[in-house]
Amino acid sequence: MELFLMTLVTGIMVGGIYALIALGWVVIYKCSGVLNLAMGELTLIGAYVSWWLYSTGIPFVVCVFLTIIIGIILGILTERIFLDRLIGQPLLSVIMVTVGLSFFFRGTAMFIWGPSTKTFHPPVFPQESIHVGMLSITPVFFWSFLVVIGLLIALVAFFKYTRWGLSMQATADDETAALSLGVSVRFVYAASWSIAFITAGIGGALLANINGLNINIAHLGLVVLPAVIFGGLNSIPGAIVGGIVIGILENMTGTYLTQIVPGGIKTIVPFIFLVIFMMFRPHGLWGWVRIERV
Amino acid sequence: MDQNGSILNIQNIEVRYHEVILALKGVSVSVQRGRVVALLGANGAGKSTTLKAVSGLLATEDGKVTDGSIEYEGRRIHNSHAADIAKQGIIQVIEGRKVFEHLSVEDNLKVGAHLRKSGSVKDGLDLVYHYFPRLYDKRGETAGFISGGEQQMLVVGRALMTEPKLLLLDEPSMGLAPMLIQEIFSIIHKLNEEEKITILLVEQNAKLALTVSSYAYILENGRIVMDDYSDKLWENEDIKDFYLGLSDKGGKSFRNIKHYKRKKRWLT
C-alpha cells in the first residue's frame, strides 16, 4: 500500500512537469495550428541555459527568472527570424521548419555545452526527504510540483483574463478574422513561442535537477506527445490532466511491470494506452470537435 | 464624384494572386467621408478582392496589389500589414460570418475592443448592445451555436467595438432570411447616420445596396463598368434589367440577342 501511494505521488509530480511541457506544445498548436516538433529541443535549451546560469553562482530562483526572460527573447527571435516569412504559407511547411529548428537547437546546444552529462552542483534541493504522514517525498519532486502548479495557474489566468490571452484564443479560432480586427498575428506567434520556451525551459530545468542534464532531455518532446494528444491537442486543461495521467502511468509501470517485463516497458506503456484511448475518443479528452452548423 | 472630402481613394489598382492570376484590372473607387458606397457585381467580379486590397487581408491569400495606389486620408496604405491598417481605423467584416466559434458572444466583442483608444471596454459593449439588443440576451453563449442572423450581428458588432472610421462590409445579407436582412440593413443605415461611420459595402442584393447607399460602382471581370449616384443607377435601364430584375416590358426573355449586345457595351 505504501509503495502504491509513493508511486502514485511521484507519478503525479513528474506528471506535473510533463504537463508544463505539454502546455507549451498546446499553446503553439492552439494559436497557429502548428505541431511544434522542436518542443524537446526547447526543453533542452531551457535546461542548459538554467544550468549554465546556476554554474556561474547565481541562486536557482534567480536562474529560473532569467530562464523565463531568455525564453521570451528566444521566442521573439524565433518568430522574427524563422516564422514571420511563413505567414500565409501551408501549415506543413511551417511544421517542417520546426523539424529544422529542432536540429538547429540540438546542434547549437551540443556545440556550446558538449555531450557530457551535467549536474547541478551544489545540489539545488536538499537531499533529506520530506515526510508527509507515512509518505516520504524527495524535495526535488515536491518543489518542482509547487513551481509547476504556480506556473499553470499563472498561464490559465493569462488566457482567461487578459486582453492578450483573449487575442491569442481568437487567433486560434480564426486567424483571418482576428487579423481583420487588428490583432497582430506576429505578436500572437511570438507570444506563443515565448510561452513554449518558458514552460519547456522551466520543465527542462526541473527535470535536469532530477535526472541530470544531457542531450537526451530532448527526448522529452516525444515522451510528452501522448500527454498532449490524450488531453486533446488544443485544450489547456487537457494538457494538464494528460501530463499527470501519463506521469502516473509511467511510474506505475516502472514500479510494478518492470519486474515482470524487463526492458523499456516504462516508456512504451503510455503510447499503448494512447492508441487504445484514441480508438474511443479520437479528439482526445477535451479537444475541439469542429462546430458544424446545419 | 469629386475627389475632395474622400476618406478612401483607390486609384487604378491591379491585384494578382500567386503572382499570376490577375483578379483586378484597374479598379478606381472613391469613398467620401460619412457616406455609404456600394460595390455591386456578379460572383467573381472582384468585389471581395477590392475590399481585401484595402484592408490588407490579401496577404493571407498570397495576393498583392501590383499596380496603382490606395490612399486612406492621404496616406498610401496598399501592401501594408493588415494589423497596421486596422489600427488606422479601417475594419473589414469578412464575408461568411466568421465569428470566433469557441468563444462566448461577449468575448468575441472583447477581442474587437483591443484596438480601442478612447473609452472603456464597457462603453463599447453598451454601444453594441444598444444597436444589437439580441446580442445582449445571448452574451454568455458560445458564438458557434447562435443563429446565423445573430452571428452576422456579432461580426458587425465586433467591428463596431474597434471604433472604426471606415467599415468594409462584405455581403452582410449572405444566406439570411429576408426579415433578418431588413433588420441588419436598417442597423447599418443607423450606424452610418448616428455614429458617422463611413461604409464601403459589397452586396449581391442590388436592390438593398442601392437603397442604403448614396453612390455605387458596378464591377465586372475585375473592372469598373459603371458608377453613379445610387438613385440615378436605380433609374438606369441596364441596371434595371441585369441587376434589379425590373423592366417596363414585364419579363425579360434571356433568348433575346439584344440582351447580350447591351451587356457587351459595358465590357470595352
Number of CB pairs < 8 Å for A and B?
Answer: 90
- Three cell numbers, residue B125: 459593449
Tell me the pLDDT tens digit for each residue of B191-245.
Answer: 999 999 999 999 888 888 899 999 999 998 888 988 899 988 888 877 777 777 6
Does residue A293 lie within any of the structural domains?
A: no
Q: Which of A88, A175, A181 sits opposite B112 (nearest CB)?
A: A181
DSSP state string for A183-252: --HHHHHHHHHHHHHHHHHHHHHHHHHHH-BSGGGGGHHHHHHHHHHHH-TT-HHHHHHHHHHHHHHHHH
Query: Domain containing A74 — which CATH number?
Result: 1.10.3470
Does residue A136 lie within any of the structural domains?
A: yes
Query: Angle at which helices A91-113 and A39-55 pack, to 10 degrees?
Result: 30
Instruction: Please give, rounded to a whole number of angstroms, the shortest distance from the CA of A292 to a CA of chain B.
Output: 8
Query: Angle at which helices A2-32 and A163-173 pack, to 10 degrees?
Result: 70
Residue A253's domain comprises 2-280
Grid cell 472582384 in the structure block, residue? B46
- Three cell numbers, residue B50: 477590392
Does residue A294 lie within any of the structural domains?
A: no
Grid cell 464624384 in the structure block, residue? B1
Grid cell 468563444 in the structure block, residue? B103
Q: Which of B62, B91, B148 sits opposite A181 (nearest CB)?
A: B91
Mutate to test the interface with A, among B111, B142, B161 (most CBs of A within 10 A): B111
What lies within 8 Å, CB to CB, of A89 at 6+ separation is none
What residues in B contact A178, CB-CB < 8 Å?
A: 100, 111
B87 to chain A: closest CA residue: A182
Greatest alpha-carbon pair distance for chain B in Å reads 61
- Three cell numbers, residue B63: 495576393
pLDDT of residue A260: 83
- Give the number of domains in chain A: 1
Which amino acid is located at A28 in the chain? I
- Three cell numbers, residue A54: 546556476
Strand locations in A128-194 (E): 130-132, 135-137
Q: Does B98 touch chain A (CB under 8 A)?
A: yes
Does residue A55 lie within any of the structural domains?
A: yes
Q: Does B96 touch chain A (CB under 8 A)?
A: no
For the beta carbon of residue A2, count every other beta carbon within 10 angstroms.
9
Q: Are the beta carbons of B111 and A174 separated by less than 8 Å? A: no
pLDDT at B52 over 90: yes
Cβ(A221)–Cβ(A37) under 8 Å?
yes
Where chain A has pLDDT below 70, the residues are 88, 288-294
Does residue A289 lie within any of the structural domains?
A: no
Using CB atoms within 10 Å of the CB of residue B82, give its burial: 0 to 12 exposed, 13 to 18 middle, 19+ buried: buried
pLDDT of residue B115: 74
Cβ(A36)–Cβ(A97) under 8 Å?
no
Cβ(B154)–Cβ(B184) under 8 Å?
no
What residues in A contact B58, CB-CB < 8 Å?
A: none
Which amino acid is located at B242 in the chain? F
Tell me the pLDDT tens digit for each residue of B117-157.
Answer: 666 888 899 999 999 999 999 999 999 999 989 999 999 99
Chain A residues 70-129 within an 8 A CB cutoff of chain B? 87-88
The values of phi and psi at residue B206, to 5°, are -65, -35
Q: Are the beta carbons of A291 and B102 separated by less than 8 Å? A: yes
Does residue A142 lie within any of the structural domains?
A: yes
pLDDT band, residue B260 (cuts 50/70/90): very low
A166 to chain B: closest CA residue: B111
Cβ(B13)–Cβ(B53) under 8 Å?
yes
What dihedral do alpha carbons A63, A66, A71, A77 form, nearest 10°?
-140
Q: Record the pTM.
A: 0.81
What residues in B contact A170, CB-CB < 8 Å?
A: 100, 103, 108, 111
Q: Are the beta carbons of B110 and A186 separated by less than 8 Å? A: no
Q: Which of B94, B101, B162 sits opposite A176 (nearest CB)?
A: B94
Q: Are the beta carbons of A174 and B114 separated by less than 8 Å? A: no
pLDDT of residue B109: 93
Instruction: Please give, rounded to a whole number of angstroms, the shortest distance from the CA of B212 to a CA of chain A.
Output: 24
What lies within 8 Å, CB to CB, of B257 at 6+ separation is none
pLDDT of residue B264: 44
Mutate to test the interface with B, among A86, A181, A188, A283 (most CBs of B within 10 A): A181
Tell me the pLDDT tens digit for each residue of B74-86.
Answer: 899 988 888 899 9
What residues in A contact B162, CB-CB < 8 Å?
A: 181-182
Mean pLDDT across chain B = 86
Using CB atoms within 10 Å of the CB of residue B80, give its burial: 0 to 12 exposed, 13 to 18 middle, 19+ buried: middle
A234 to chain B: closest CA residue: B102
Which amino acid is located at A191 in the chain? A
pLDDT band, residue B34 (cuts 50/70/90): very high
Q: Does B125 touch chain A (CB under 8 A)?
A: no
pLDDT at B97 over 70: yes
pLDDT of residue A281: 83
pLDDT at B259 over 70: no
pLDDT of residue A161: 86
Mutate to test the interface with A, among B80, B100, B120 (most CBs of A within 10 A): B100
Does residue A291 lie within any of the structural domains?
A: no
ipTM of the complex: 0.83
